[in-house]
Amino acid sequence: MIFSEIPVDDAEGAILAHTTRSDGWTLKKGHRLTAEDCRLLSAAGITVLRAAKLEDGDVREDAAAKEIADGASGDSVTPTAAHTGRCNLVATIDGVIRIDADTVNRINAIDESITIATLPDYARVNAGQTIATIKIIPFAVGERILAAVMQALNEGDSPVSIEPFQALSVVLINSILPTLKDSVVTKTTALTKRRLGALGGTVNHVLTCQHDESEIADSVARAAEHHPDLVVVIGASVTVDRSDVVPAGIVKAGGVIEHFGMPVDPGNLMLLAEHSGTPVLVLPGCARSPKLNGIDWVLERFAARLPVTRDVISGLGVGGLLVDSPARPMPRDEAVLEFQDRNTDHVIGAVVLAAGQSRRMGPINKLLEPINEVPLIRHTVERVLASKVDSVVVVTGHQSREVEQALSGLKVIFAHNPEFEGGLSTSLGAGLTAVPNACSGAVVCLGDMPGILSDHINALIDQFDPEAGRSIGVPVHLGKRGNPIVWARRFFDAMADVSGDVGARHLIGANVDLVYEVDFEDTAVLTDLDTPEQWAKFHETDAL
């Protein structure tokens, strides 16, 4: 591949290096120039541009990315379509990811033009989650480089695969003391059931005994009679030594202590034992909290039927400091969308921001101002409802009662933002939190853009396809970006974390490979009404 400045007269067939715009047209980065494109460029006064020309033996970026992705996909992993040289690997089931680090590192060392990035080995993943990505850096790679990568893939097992969670039968033992509240035991039992249930496990029996060595021994023996896959013990008092009450009871029942302690914090005081061929897991005190802790890692391996031994536990220290760290790429308490084929339509919600104070309008709330005798906010929401969105969340704040009255009778979800004075970012977080879990993305609409029609929204939704790398949909008029914007769910947390009177546009710049633009001939996507002067001009032009 030759990458250089090329005269426009000699650019037909070249790949454009940077997006180029002029009046009424846009040629995007990566576009292969046609004779008509070259005529447009010349007419715009452009004589030279930076571009790439393919040579014999070059493989285009998307084709190379897809071939590598196909070769890297192991059990329960599927590749998406390639887009801008990127192809993602997606889990098709819930489970634990297994990464062949040697193969991944070997491929990344072959040539700088090809990269593979993955989640950490043994990370918990959910169906539909992106677990790895292949990115071709230039517009094309040489056949020899691609062949070397494919040879590395063919010489070993697939470097990215999923070990599925399997049905896990569990007996839970609670020890109690007079000082331990019944409510604590009840809540901990319910939490443990949820923890295991999320991994495909079922607590079939719950045994309760006094926090006494003999009673624990009796309970462990009774648990073995049910032939479970795992026995879990939650002590009324945390185990602090191998000879403490709970481990002593396990030994008295004929069990063996395999390992005490874990280099994961929270989770240090976990104990692993065995009785009658069944693993016995004594939980640390942090297991009474729903937050991520070391016990989650151990339970995930049990559920995926992966070995849990002394050596495994001792090897968890690197990365084991979980205090104040993000709890997984896919939060445990968030419903995960069922994996969908790429041909399945995505369910898209909408968030309409209607909480602002309209400060530049003086005492008037612009959202309640009439357009053809209809309040602006109702005018906006009716058009959103007429689009392909599945549900509409309206964020209220300033004069919330009046805004809700203006929307009376419309099928919307109201999300009140009591911190609306803190700026647009607070409304964004409130609205995204209320988007139903079934939605794989949401179109964020401003309440004061009267020219937006359902057709604008539908055009953005029609091109939304995260599996193909189209995760952020931005409307454009004559090269200028506007609103509304479609966002994939993966960005919701980051959007909710912004502060002040700003939106999330910085995420567009940080994720350029995932952005797709939709061109519109009219100015509606750029027009909002913030001031009395804008309202007057709007009415003068009879824009609707």
Q: Do residues 116 and 328 lie in contact, with contact meaning Cβ atoms separated by under 8 Å?
A: no
Q: What are the strands, taking DSSP E only, across 246-358?
A: 256-260, 271-275, 278-282, 348-354
Is it the case that residue 314 has pLDDT exceeding 90? Answer: yes
Candidate from 213-222, 287-296, 421-430 with smallest mean pLDDT: 421-430
What's the confidence (pLDDT) of residue 358?
66
- Enter the DSSP assignment of 283: P
Looking at mean pLDDT, say which of 117-131, 367-381, 515-529 comes out highest. Answer: 117-131
Q: How far apart are CA 56 and CA 60, in angstroms?
A: 11
- Which residue carries 């509409």 as its tokens? 392
Instruction: Name the residue type at position 168.
Output: L
Q: How far apart are CA 153 and CA 408, in angstroms?
A: 60
Dihedral pair phi/psi, residue 224, rounded to 5°: -65, -30
Q: How far apart are CA 503 and CA 496, in angstroms?
A: 9
Q: How far apart are CA 149 and CA 120, in angstroms?
A: 21
Q: Report residue 377 as tokens.
A: 């906010």
What's the confidence (pLDDT) of residue 55?
87
Alpha helices in 277-322 (DSSP H): 294-303, 310-314
What's the confidence (pLDDT) of residue 124?
94
Q: How far apart are CA 433 and CA 351, in angstroms?
A: 10
Is it the case that residue 380 has pLDDT exceeding 90? Answer: yes
Looking at mean pLDDT, say which of 485-494, 496-505, 534-543 comes out highest. Answer: 485-494
Q: How far apart are CA 139 and CA 377, in angstroms?
A: 45
What's the confidence (pLDDT) of residue 324?
47
- C-alpha to C-alpha distances, 174 to 180, 207, 238, 289, 371, nearest whole angstrom: 11, 6, 12, 16, 65
What's the confidence (pLDDT) of residue 339?
35
Domain 58-164 in this protein, CATH class = alpha beta
CATH of 2-53, one of 3.40.50.300, 3.90.105.10, 3.40.50.800, 3.30.360.10: 3.90.105.10
Is it the case that residue 329 has pLDDT exceeding 50? Answer: no
Mean pLDDT of 472-481: 92
What's the confidence (pLDDT) of residue 500?
57
- Which residue carries 């794989």 as its tokens? 440
Q: How many CB atoms lie within 10 A of CB 296?
A: 24
Q: Report residue 434 as tokens.
A: 């209320």
Q: How far apart are CA 331 and CA 326, in angstroms?
A: 9
Strands 348-354 and 441-446: parallel
Q: How far apart are CA 308 and CA 249, in angstroms?
A: 22
What's the confidence (pLDDT) of residue 345?
59
- The order of strands in the sheet holding 48-53 is 2-7, 48-53, 15-16
Q: What is the 3-state composition of the chain as percent helix, strand, coil, each rounded to the nearest 5?
A: 30, 30, 40
What's the confidence (pLDDT) of residue 529?
79
What's the confidence (pLDDT) of residue 351?
95
Do domains 168-314 and 348-541 share one topology? The answer is no
pLDDT, tens digit (0-9, with 9 covering 90-100), for 429-467: 889 989 998 899 999 999 888 889 999 999 999 999 887
110 exposure class (CB count in 10 Å sphere: 0-12, 13-18, 19+): middle
Is it the case that residue 507 has pLDDT exceeding 90? Answer: no
Our measurement of the distance from residue 316's CA atom to the centroid of its chain's CA atoms, rounded to an integer in Å, reads 25
Q: State pTM to two decimals.
A: 0.63
Q: How far apart are CA 139 and CA 6, in angstroms?
A: 16
Q: Which residues in 474-484 are b (16+ Cβ under 10 Å) and which e?
A: bbbbeeeebbb
Q: Report residue 122 as tokens.
A: 């043994």
For residue 424, what are the contacts with CB-CB under 8 A and spacing of at least 6?
Answer: 353, 356, 501, 502, 503
- Rounded to the nearest 10°, the torsion over CA 397, 401, 405, 406 is -40
Mean pLDDT of 65-77: 96
Q: Which CATH superfamily is domain 168-314 in?
A: MoaB/Mog-like domain (3.40.980.10)
The residues with which 195 forms a beta bridge, in sequence order, are: none
What's the confidence (pLDDT) of residue 539?
64
The residues with which 477 forms a beta bridge, in sequence order, are: 480
Q: How far apart are CA 206 and CA 213, in angstroms?
A: 18
Q: Do residues 228 and 204 lie in contact, with contact meaning Cβ atoms separated by under 8 Å?
A: yes
What's the confidence (pLDDT) of residue 326?
39
Percentage of residues in the chain with pLDDT exceeding 70? 93
pLDDT, tens digit (0-9, with 9 covering 90-100), for 13-45: 899 988 898 887 889 888 899 999 999 999 999
CATH of 348-541, one of 3.90.1720.10, 3.90.550.10, 3.40.190.10, 3.20.20.30: 3.90.550.10
Query: Domain residue spans in the chain?
Result: 2-53, 58-164, 168-314, 348-541
Picking from 141, 89, 154, the residue whose alpha carbon sits closest to that of residue 114 is 141
